[in-house]
Chain A
Amino acid sequence: MSRPVVEIEGVSKRFAGLTAVDGVDLGVAPGEIRGIVGPNGAGKTTLFNLISGLYPVSAGRIRLKGVEITGQSPHARAAAGLGRTYQTPQIFPELTLFDNVAVGLACRRPPTARGAVFGRHAGWRDALREVADVLGFLRLPTDLALLGGALPFGEQKRLEIARALVSGPEVLLLDEPAAGLNRAEIEALMALIGHIRERGVTVCLIEHNMRVVMSLCDRISVLDFGRKIAEGSPDEVRRDPLVIKAYLGTGADARL
C-alpha cells in the first residue's frame, strides 16, 4: 500500500477540562474518499480544525504527504495542498464571486504588498480563466461580479468548495457538505465529489447523512467521545456493534 496522504498519529486535543479528541490514529490513502462519522459532539469538526491548523494539538502528530505539518500555520498547510470547507459556508458575502474564489489562490500566489507594487502582472486578475473554470465545474453562476451574499445557501456551499478547489489541493476536507441541501442537491453533490476524486483529490468528509456516507465513501472512520471506535468499509462499519451502540443506544431502529 502506498504511503497515506494524510496521517494522524495519536492526536489529542484538550480544552481546559474537556478532552475533545483523544488519541486518534488515522491514515487516509491517496485518492480515497474517507467518511468521518459519529454522534454529535464526537470531536469530528475539532479533528478537522486540528488537521487544518486552526487549533494546536495537545498531543500527537499530523502528516501531509509524508511531511509533518503539526505546528504549521493554517496558511502553510493550505499551501502544502490542504483544502477545507466548513459546516456553515464561510464565504465572503460582500465580495464578488470572482474575489470569493480568487482568495483560494493565495496559497499559490501570495497576496504580498511587494507583489502589488512591483508585480507587472495583475496578480489574481490573470486567473480569470481558472476561476471561471472552477465556477463552471461547480455549476455556479458565471456572472463574476455577483456578490457572494446574493447566492442561495446551496450555491454558497459550492462557492466555498470552489474556493478550496481553485488552489489545486491534494486533500480536501469537507465538513457536512450535504447539510441543508435538498434531495436533488445531494445527488448533485455526490456526483461532484466523485468528479473531484477523479481529478486526483483525496476527500475526507464529515457527514451525518448516512446514505451519502455509505454510498460514496471507500472507508469510514467512526468517532465517539473523541476516540476512534471503528474503521473500515461501509459494510464493516455498518455492522459494528460498537458503532450501532454509539449512535443508537441499544434496541433502537437502525436506518443505516
Chain B
Amino acid sequence: MPEFLGQVVFGLAIGSIYSLIAIGFSMIYRATGLLHFAHPDLMMIGGMVGYTLATRTLLPMPVLFVLSGVVVGGLSCAIDRFGFRPMRRRGAHLNLIIATIGWSIILVNVALFVWGTAPLSYPQPYLPKGTLVGGLVIVPQNLAMLGVGLLAMIILQAFFRRTVVGQALRATAENPVAAQLMGIRIERMMLLTFLLSGFLAGGAGVLVASIVYANFDLGLIGIKAFAASVLGGFGHVAGAMAGGLLLGLLETMGAFYLSSAFKDIIAYTLLILILLVRPNGLFGAGAARPD
C-alpha cells in the first residue's frame, strides 16, 4: 500500500510540473487563440535566470520565484509586443503559431549562448532535502509546485469568470472584433495574458530547475505539457491542471505497473483514447454547440 501511495504522490509531483506549464499554455490559448510553442522555453529561461540569481545572491526560494517570474513575464510581454502583435494585425494565424516555434529556437539558443551547454545545478541551500514517501523521495519543491499550481488555477478561474478584466479577456479570445467594438482594448488584454502566463512560467522554471537542473533543453518537458492541456480540454485552466496531474499519474503508474520502458507510449496512447471518448478533453464543452 505504501508503495502505491508513493507512486501516486510521485505521479502528482511530476504531474504538477506539467500542470504549471499546461496552465500557462491553456491560458494563452483561451485568451488569444494562440498555440504558444515557445511557452515551455520561457519556463526554461526562468530556471536559468533563477540559477544566476541563486548563485549570486542566495535569496530565499519564494523571492527567486517572484523575481524570475517578473523577468520572464516581462520577456513574454516583450515577445508579444514586438513579435506577435505586428503579426496579429496582418491576421496570419497559422504563421503566428509557426513563428512561436522560431521564438522557441531563439530562446534556446540565447540560453545556450549565455549559460552554455552544461547542466547547471542550483547551489546547495536550494537543493531538496527530500522525505521518503513509500520508497520515493518527495521534495519541498514538489509540494510547492502542487501548491502554486492549485493556487494559480483557483485564482485564474476566479479571474476569468468573476472579474471584468477576466471576462474581457475571454471575450477577446472568442470574438476579437466584437470585443473591440465593445470598447475592450484587446491588445492590452493580450499583453496582460502574456504577462501572467510568463510570470507563472518563470516561477515554475525556478522550481523545476532547482529539482532537476538548469539547462537549455528544459523546455522539452513542454511536449508533455501540451499533451496535458489537450487532455484537460484545450483552453480550460482547471482542465490543464487536472490534465497535467493525470498525465503524471498515468506515466508513473504505467512505468511502475506495466513497463518502465514504454511508460510514455502508454501515457500517450491513453491520452488519445480519452480524447476519442471525450473529444473536447476531460473538462471541455460536451456536445457541439448549435450554430
Contact = CB atoms under 8 A, between A and B. Distances in A.
Nearest to B288: A55
Q: Which 8 A-B pairs have the closest CB atoms?
A: A15-B290, A55-B290, A46-B290, A20-B290, A15-B289, A16-B287, A16-B286, A49-B291
10 contacts: A15-B289, A15-B290, A16-B286, A16-B287, A20-B290, A46-B290, A49-B290, A49-B291, A54-B291, A55-B290
Nearest to A46: B290
Contacts of B286: 16
B291 to A, nearest CB: 8
Given A15-B289, A15-B290, A20-B290, 5 more contacts: A16-B287, A46-B290, A49-B291, A54-B291, A55-B290
Interface string B252-291: 0000000000000000000000000000000000110111
Interface residues of B, number: 5
Interface string A1-44: 00000000000000110001000000000000000000000000
Interface residues of A, number: 7
Interface of A: 15-16, 20, 46, 49, 54-55
Contacts of B291: 49, 54
Nearest to B285: A16
Q: Is the interface of B mostly helix, strand, loop or mixed?
A: loop
A170 B93 CA distance: 43
Contacts of A55: 290
Q: Is the interface of A mostly helix, strand, loop or mixed?
A: mixed
A20 B291 CA distance: 13
A89 B290 CA distance: 18
Contacts of A15: 289-290
Contacts of B290: 15, 20, 46, 49, 55
Contacts of A49: 290-291
A49 B289 CA distance: 13
A223 to B, nearest CB: 16
A157 B286 CA distance: 34
A84 to B, nearest CB: 14
A55 B290 CA distance: 8
A37 B291 CA distance: 20
A16 B289 CA distance: 9
Residue from B287, B289, B290 with most neighbouring chain A CB atoms (10 Å): B290
A15 B289 CA distance: 8
A15 to B, nearest CB: 6
B215 to A, nearest CB: 47
A54 B289 CA distance: 11
A54 B286 CA distance: 17
Interface in B189-247: none
A49 B287 CA distance: 16
Interface string B49-86: 00000000000000000000000000000000000000
A16 B287 CA distance: 9
A122 B214 CA distance: 62
Interface string B109-122: 00000000000000
B38 to A, nearest CB: 34
A159 to B, nearest CB: 21
A250 B287 CA distance: 39
A71 to B, nearest CB: 15
Nearest to A15: B290
Contacts of B287: 16
Contacts of A16: 286-287
Nearest to A18: B290
A20 B290 CA distance: 10
Contacts of A46: 290
A188 B287 CA distance: 41
A195 B289 CA distance: 37
B121 to A, nearest CB: 52
A15 B286 CA distance: 11
Nearest to B286: A16
Nearest to B289: A15
A15 B291 CA distance: 11
A16 B291 CA distance: 14
A154 B286 CA distance: 38
A54 B290 CA distance: 9
Contacts of B289: 15
Interface string B141-154: 00000000000000
A54 B287 CA distance: 13
A16 B285 CA distance: 11
B268 to A, nearest CB: 30
A54 B291 CA distance: 10
A176 B287 CA distance: 27
A20 B289 CA distance: 13
Contacts of A20: 290
